[in-house]
Amino acid sequence: MFSKETYVKRRELLRERVSRGGLILLPGNSEAPRNYPDNGYHFRQDSNFLYFYGLKLPDLVGLLDIDAGEDWLFGDDLSMDDIIWTGPQPTVSELGARCGISHTAPLAVLQEKLTLAIRKGRPVHFLPPYRADNKLKLSRWLGICPEAIADRISIELAIAIVSLRDKKSDEEIREIEDACEIGYRMHTTAMKMCCPGARERDIAGAMGGIAGAIEDIAIEMGEGVSFHSIVTQHGETLHNHGHDGILESGRMLLVDAGAENLMNYCSDFTRSYPVNGRFTPMQRDIYEIVLAANAHAFEMAKPGLLYKEVHLACVKVILEGLKSLGLVRGDMDDAVANGVHALFMPHGLGHLMGLDVHDMEDIGEKYVGYDLETERSTQLGVSNLRMARRLQVGMVMTDEPGIYFIPAYIAKWKAEGTNKEFVNFDKLEPYMNFGGIRIEDDLLITETGNRILGKRRIPVTVQEIEEFMAGDR
Ligand code: GLY
Ligand code: MN
Ligand code: MN
């Protein structure tokens, strides 16, 4: 973890930003059972708890008393029965000392404090829980039925936390760069393993996409993958988590994968490349368009710009490229305004990244990717943006344009005549088996613009990929 001063300072700032006063309740996560109580998923601490306390053990709860200026940490010390199974663990008061907290107490005391606060009419601020057990705990602690929890979250707390976590400090950037280095190892390993006859499953396992693989880079170097790895020849299915394919010459492989480092900071990269290591002219044409859009975001992104504007500029690059291939026609500004790009790229350009790969989406995209200035649109082509609001120095964004040929979606547009004045549906026929291409990098917004994160960039140009895949395996 960072030094305790980092966590003390973060909590101090949080108390200042929740001006209504009262208590802020930040529950950590508990172990989550997989198929019976003692067989759990790999433990993952809640990211807000990590941000304010840095502690990775389960069953801890943080409470900030804004009015008294006090920080509390609640948890139960382990019994000898627990220690026999888990080995010796620090006490809650030792854990408190690590993150600069002197007020620690057993969980039973938390209930007393909350009951007293509620009786006195003091506000208790909490975030939307994304795990059922935490929802039930909030329900019990606060006397709110589980169905009503979502309506009672503190918007002030949500906005305050987003305003702290959305800009990364230098020490956080170092951790993200560390996660990027793991991502580099994962992706270059995948690229080296990719050849006709290889199994998607072997590649996913080597990177860390499947627990128990023989070699698993994400666990060897960090805390594991930051989301289920996507390793597929069917890149047109955006979140394709199946790994059952056998790689075939002539197809493209899409690999979208990232890691969490030992501090749980994330990386998130996508590369798409030909299974046999050589792009066909058709693959190269589409690839170069996606790469140009990816580069355009780097050229453009800077503090003060709406990420929605960057998205719209990049999808115009994509449409101009598809126009040069004859797949779309007409004026491309009009096409963007009509959402024609959504047929080929039905997702946004990117999202914030940090302690979560989609940073803070537990708090809600409404507060993370949008604000009063940028309410979510219902219009085709922009309704699906995770992040639309203005860029600020210290934000870490993904830049992940793509072109996908989704047969069912193309057939629907064609049948319904959607944007038929712009789309040459007949010219799309040869692409029905193409799959999809996405290229994703992570960037830091700086005073002067942005920089690509990671000590070294995963091979990305056609030449770099072909040379890398032709090299020693
Ligand atoms: N793999 C999820 C994403 O790139 O957003
Ligand atoms: Mn990704
Ligand atoms: Mn991403």
User: In this predicted model, what pLDDT tens digit does every residue of 263-298 receive, in sequence order?
Assistant: 999 999 999 999 999 999 999 999 999 999 999 999
Extract the tokens encoding 429: 């026929």
Distance 444 CA to ligand 3 centre (A): 14
Q: What is the dihedral of CA 46, 201, 409, 358, to 10 degrees?
A: 20
Go through 269-290 and write b for each residue having 16 or more CB atoms within 10 A of its CB, e for each that does not: bbbbbbbbbbbeeebeebbebb
pLDDT at 261 over 80: yes
Please check whether residue 460 is in contact with residue 439, taking contact to mean a CB–CB distance below 8 angstroms.
yes
DSSP letters spanning 332-350: HHHHHHTTGGGGT--S-S-
Crossing angle for the helix pair 170-193 and 200-207, to the nearest 10 degrees: 150
Read off the pTM.
Answer: 0.96
In the chain, % of residues over pLDDT 70: 99
Distance 115 CA to ligand 2 centre (A): 43
Distance 256 CA to ligand 1 centre (A): 7
Mutate to test the pocket of ligand 1, among 228, 272, 384, 400 (most ligand atoms within 8 A of CB): 400
Task: For residue 448, give the DSSP letter.
Answer: S
Ligand 1 atom closest to the Cα of residue 386 is 5
Please check whether residue 427 is in contact with residue 328, taking contact to mean a CB–CB distance below 8 angstroms.
no
Q: How confident is the model at residue 220 (pLDDT cuts 50, 70, 90)?
A: confident
Owner of token pair 């139960």:
76
Spell out which residues line ligand 1, taking CB within 6 angstroms: 227, 256, 268, 351, 400, 440
Give the whole-angstrom CA distance, residue 260 versus residue 239: 19
Residue 321: which of 291, 347, 297 has the closest Cα? Answer: 291
The pLDDT value recorded for residue 354 is: 98
Please check whether residue 334 is in contact with residue 312, taking contact to mean a CB–CB distance below 8 angstroms.
no
pLDDT at 72 over 90: yes
Please check whether residue 222 is in contact with residue 262, taking contact to mean a CB–CB distance below 8 angstroms.
yes
pLDDT at 210 over 60: no
Owner of token pair 């969490």:
260
Task: For residue 428, give the DSSP letter.
Answer: G
